């Protein structure tokens, strides 16, 4: 096993070419850091815009 200086010390780091470890940490150029949390999608219900009446909808 290679002694990668980016390893956190667990001995189980698998780091890809972009510096991402399987555990989710990311190499920032100096150290491994936890990824920044991404904002959760809005929980507000999405509304569908009203469809304009067409000639087929008229009585």
**Contact (Cβ atoms closer than 8 angstroms) between residue 35 and residue 26:** yes
The pLDDT of residue 48 is 67
Q: What is the pLDDT of residues 16-41, one digit of tens each?
A: 888 888 888 888 888 888 877 777 77
Distance CA 29, CA 14 (A): 17
Distance CA 18, CA 27 (A): 8
Confidence of residue 2 (pLDDT cuts 50, 70, 90): low
**Contact (Cβ atoms closer than 8 angstroms) between residue 34 and residue 27:** no
pTM of the model: 0.46
């Amino acid at each position: 096993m290679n002694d990668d200086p980016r390893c956190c010390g667990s001995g189980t780091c698998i780091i890809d070419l972009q510096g991402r470890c399987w555990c989710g940490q990311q190499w920032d150029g100096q150290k491994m850091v936890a990824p920044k949390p991404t904002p959760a999608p809005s929980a507000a219900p999405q509304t569908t815009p009203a469809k304009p009446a067409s000639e087929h909808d008229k009585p």
